[in-house]
Structure 1
Amino acid sequence: MPSRRSRFLPALLALLALPACALATPSAAAGRHYRVVAYDTAQQPIAADDVGRIDTLIFAFAQVVDGRVVLAPAARERLRQRIALKATHPGLKVMVSVGGWSAGGFSEAAATAAGRQRFADSAAALLADTHADGLDVDWEYPGHHESGIASSPEDRTHFTALLGMLRATLDRTGHGKHYLLSIAAADGLFVDGIDIAAVAPSLDWFNLMTYDFCNAMTPTTCNHTGLHASKLAPADARTLARAVRQFLAAGVPPRKLVPGVAFYGREFAEVVPAHDGLFQRYGHYQGGHDWPQLKADFIDRNGYVRYWDAQADAPYLWNAATRRFISYDDPQSIAAKAAFVKAEHLGGLMYWEQGSDPDGELLGAIWRDLQ
């Protein structure tokens, strides 16, 4: 009979031959960190508990004026207050987002090499002056003019060049500090003006705006921030999962994808009553409701009944008497999204926006479910 040592020696040698990543898998998986990224337009202070649950706060918005990234004096003061939070939360990163829906100037600034350098230089100067940690570019959208901004067929090429110029300029002016660079990106047809594979190397991550899948511009209701497709959804319906697959197929590393959660709902009126209003035509768009208002006035209140779309992993409200429909995110749908992020090894979750959840209930759900 072989000795105890000789029996275990082959197993030991095999273990030592494994790559380091294989040996570290259990502990690495347990210690994997997922980003919690907050867009912030709020006027009020952020509660200390909330700050402790946020990795990156994206302050919105700077604008493009005469080809330069500028921040108004009042906004600068609010940004200063946000950056001051880092004194008690040193791990917090604070970025500045430039743009937003209907904010123009991008196509014109990106059209020439000189314009791109002017944009990049002004962005770098703003970050250095305010002590912010990076820039988020929210151009909605390259090659598109639905928001009323100028666009060009050349935006796709120019956007790649603009982000490359930004990355190079931020690296050159950072003096050893790595400035973060991200973009807010939509999916489906709204991203055809971006060469996803070409811009990915310049970015730390993509903030995927996986919400507003239906709004005042769409013909029917839907799960406006649904994780998966409802059984009632058309074949081309937009979902978080389909957005992620679109970017993965373009070659983006999973850890660079941070899909979004909506801290608000969208309401539609005069909705065709079939299927409790889900994926039905409507008379007019009624408006948006932040999470506190949804809880106080709508969820199982005043004739609005909560339903759960198990296939889409999304809640919705239907008022049969008034024929009004509301789509939104809640802790249950957030848990499903967090599980999807973990299963797909994505970078984390982002949300719009901080002021829509003043008590931190939905943020708490994101933070808890990503642990």
Structure 2
Amino acid sequence: MKTFNLSIILVLCISFGSCSNSNNKSSEKAEKSLSNKKIIGYVAGWKGVDTSLIQAEKLTHINYAFANVVDGLVTEGEGRFDQDKENIEKLHSLKIKNPNLKILISIGGWTWSKGFSDAVLSPESRQVFTNSAIEYLIRHDLDGLDFDWEYPGMQGDGNVYREVDRENFVFMLQSVREALDSLEDISGKYYLSTIASAGFKSYLDVNDLRSAQQYLDFINIMTYDFVGPGTDTTAHHSNLFNPKENGRSAAQAVFDHVEAGVPIEKLVLGIAFYGKSWKNVHPENNGLYQVGEWNRTFPFKEIQTFESQAGFQRFWDDESKAPFLWNSAQKIFLSYEDPESIAAKVDFILQNNLGGAMFWEYNEDSDDKSLLNAIYQNMHKP
């Protein structure tokens, strides 16, 4: 039974004027068929939006990051209302170049997931939370909601978390899905509901993705950050495969999600547009799987310049389908993605009938957009 208050939707539609009729309702519904592969780009709002740099024709969805959860409500980030409004309006203008482009708000993220557990703790609080999410969607005339709760049932960035998050996460998604369906009854437009999920099995162990997925159009798996700060041994951070027993990989994360009850066609594989580095690395095996000190992350636009610098040498790990850079003089090791590793991932997506690819984050690509182009060209190759 639907619990969402339809009168609230009606008031919001009148107030914000955003519930216009769809020109082609059947084409909106077709989104649920997942027949076309998705290319989903996250855009970080705090970096601003320059539409001249966004190749909208190569994207199917943009997830604008982030909305916050404050006092049980989905809201713009503190001090960011005007900036978010302007940025989202700019993103909407990209539909001139790509009328089929979908714009979603991503809610939460690593830093702003602290309010989720409290917000969805009771039926009453979930109702308030749902209302605020729908209000946000209407206020910005969005095509859907992407929930990036990091993580239900797990602490994440010092978050409040509870064992009951497992059930409440599903109840939240059900409440939102029913509200979006009620909004569709009024507007004639289908609205998307998606999540970002973790690329490690312990997340699946404390959550019920089998139940959650029935309320979701697709699930973006964050198949990266397998290693990073706190890791004193170098490794690939976003490798497709892993030859090590019980080693983490993108493929393993996908298969773990399938085992947890998610249809594989609903899964979207994550790609990192940044790399991770270590310093003072032992030189054996060109620095791969060696002891070192965590250094920092680099956007791909910087990594691309390293590839041509004296001292840095690119290596390809064919077992993992991942590149890395090694500087023997400076003892620096850097794990990253490049067009070759992306081609391997897109082949995996196509061969296994995944829903598509997503990436974090658009502004970290090179000026010539070589990573986005690698996704697009391999996704659409003959």
Band of TM-score, shorter chain: 0.7 to 0.9
Asked if 1:281 corresponds to 2:284, the answer is no
Which of residues 118, 125, 135 is equivalent to 1:125? 135
What SS class does the counterpart of residue 58 from structure 2 fall into? coil
Number of residues of Structure 1 aligned to a counterpart in Structure 2: 336
Identify the residue that residue 61 of structure 1 maps to in structure 2.
Answer: 66
| 2:57 equivalent among 52, 63, 67 | 52
Match of 2:42 in 1: 39
1:224 partnered with 2:224: no
Answering whether residue 298 of structure 2 is matched by residue 303 of structure 1, we say no
| Structure-2-length-normalised TM-score | 0.85
Aligned counterpart, 1:181: 193
**Is the 1:68–1:122 Cα contact (8 Å) retained in structure 2?**
yes
Cα offset, 1:207, TM superposition? 0.4
Cα displacement (A) at 1:84: 2.1
Within the candidate set 319, 330, 351, 2:338 is matched to 330
In the TM superposition, 1:311-350 aligns within 5 A as 311-350=319-358
The residue type paired with residue 149 of structure 1 is N
Q: Residues 288-320 of structure 1: CA distance to partner in whole angstroms, max 9, x if unpaired? A: 111111111x21424121100000000001111
SS in 2 for 1:226: coil
Decide whether the 8 Å contact of 1:141 with 1:193 is kept in 2: no
Tell me the equivalent position of 1:195: 208
Label 1:32 to 1:68 Cα distance change in 2 as closer, same or farther (>3 A): closer
Q: State the AA in 1 paired with 2:377.
A: R
Does the residue aligned with 1:61 lie in a helix, a strand or coil? strand
> Which residue of 1 is the match for residue 23 of structure 2?
none
Look up the equivalent residue of 2:42 and give its one-letter code: Y
Matched, 1:366 2:375: yes
CA contact (8 A) 1:36 1:55 kept: yes
> Partners in 2 of 1:305 and 1:267 — Cα distance?
14
Residue equivalent to 2:24:
none
Confirm or deny: 8 A CA contact 1:141 1:191 kept in the other structure: no
- Rounded to whole Å, the distance in 2 between the matches of 1:87 and 1:300 is 37
CA shift, 1:49, in A, is 6.7
Q: Secondary structure at the match of 2:325?
A: strand
CA shift, 1:197, in A, is 0.3
Aligned equivalents of 2:108 and 2:310: distance in 1? 38
Quick check: which has more Rg, 1 or 2? 1
Once residues 89 and 32 of structure 1 are traced to their aligned partners in structure 2, the CA distance between those partners, rounded to angstroms, is 18
**AA at the equivalent of 2:60:** D
Q: Is the 8 A contact 2:60 2:100 kept in 1?
A: yes
Cα gap change, 1:302 to 1:115, in 2 (>3 Å)? farther
**Over residues 18-68 of structure 1, what are the superposed CA-to-partner deviations in whole Å (9 max), with x where a residue is unaligned?**
xxxxxxxxxxxxx96211000011414134771100000000000001111
Aligned twin of 1:6? none
Shift of 1:223: 1.0
Task: Kindly state the Cα deviation for residue 226 of structure 1 after the two structures are TM-superposed.
Answer: 0.3
Residue type matched to 2:36 in 1? Answer: H
The alpha-carbon distance between structure 1 residues 85 and 224, as it changes in their structure 2 partners (threshold 3 A), is same
Conserved in 2, the CA contact under 8 Å of 1:120 and 1:166? yes
Query: Are the equivalent residues in 1 in contact too, given 2:276–2:296 (CA < 8 A)?
Result: yes
| Letter matched to residue 327 of structure 1 | S
Instruction: Please state whether the residue corresponding to 1:243 is helix, strand or coil.
Output: helix
1:209 maps to which residue? Answer: 222
- Alignment-mate amino acid for residue 291 of structure 2: R
Using the TM superposition, give the Cα deviation of residue 153 of structure 1 relative to its aligned residue in structure 2, in angstroms: 1.3
Identity of aligned residues (%): 37
The answer to whether the 8 A contact 2:194-2:220 is kept is yes
Tell me the distance in 2 between the aligned counterparts of 1:254 and 1:332.
24
Q: Which residue of 2 aligns with 1:152?
A: 162
Q: Normalised by the size of structure 1, how large is the TM-score?
A: 0.87
Q: CA RMSD in A?
A: 1.6
Larger mean CA deviation between 212-221 and 137-146 belongs to 212-221
Q: Quote the residue 1:254 is aligned against.
A: 264
- The separation in 1 between residues aligned to 2:312 and 2:157, in whole angstroms, is 32
Partner of 1:351: 359
Corresponding residue of 1:115: 125
The residue identity in structure 2 corresponding to 1:350 is M
Change (3 A) 1:65 1:314: same
SS of residue in 2 equivalent to 1:122: helix
Moved over 4 A (4+): none
Structure-1 separation of matches of 2:207 and 2:340:
33
In 2, Cα distance between equivalents of 1:222 and 1:122:
42
1:47 to 1:238, Cα distance in 2 relative to 1, 3 A: farther
Cα deviation, 1:67-125, whole Å, max 9, x if unaligned, reads: 11001311121111111222332110000001111221011111111111111111111
Q: Alpha carbons of 1:80 and 1:43: their partners in 2 closer, same or farther (altered >3 Å)?
A: same
Aligned to 1:84: 93
